[in-house]
Structure 1
């Protein structure tokens, strides 16, 4: 069971504010074309797999908005990767890691 301390809650609030500001300023050119929605096994997950990364907490929440079941895994640079998760449409999961930095989310 994960207990959020005051320090972690404050860090989460600060990170959420920063992420919210960064999303509001993201250019439209950053959007991924629809053709990339179909990915080969092992490639970076498509944009319909939403990622909410909280580096300070070493936590990422992954949500599936692809309209179909997807299998994804979280890659942590210099740390332990997650298992391969099978996600139904509109489902999500969270992954905490002890060390390293979030790298990417891939299909598996």
Structure 2
């Protein structure tokens, strides 16, 4: 996995250098930029502490209920990650708003920015 990431990073750097020399972006540059953006989203990690989380597992039936509240001072885009079940979609939460996400299966894993 590390070798693949290193190769992709090297290819992206080479494409960026080539684009800088020619003054125009190629299709390969746009693909690499998309891969870089996907890496940035993955690297963003868990949501900051200003996103308050409360999760309850529905036992014995399974599922989870996650209540999120945004106290970050700005609109935040968040996603709930659930083990063994589908994750939520990316949700925009205005400052001082809340959101309740529920499933009928799986377990709460974490909340991430998206």
Larger relative helix fraction: 2
Q: Give the structure 2 partner of residue 23 of structure 1.
A: none
Q: Give the structure 1 partner of residue 65 of structure 2.
A: 59
Q: Give the structure 2 partner of residue 90 of structure 1.
A: 96
Distance 2:50 2:41 in 1: 16
Distance 1:41 1:68 in 2: 19
Cα RMSD, aligned residues only: 1.3
TM-score, normalised by the number of residues in structure 2 = 0.57
Distance 2:92 2:103 in 1: 19
Tell me the number of residue pairs that the alignment of Structure 1 and Structure 2 aligns. 69
Matches within 5 A, 1:23-102: 41-42=41-42, 43-56=45-58, 58-102=64-108
What are the ranges of 5 or more consecutive residues in structure 1 without an aligned counterpart?
Answer: 1-39
What are the ranges of 5 or more consecutive residues in structure 2 without an aligned counterpart?
Answer: 1-39
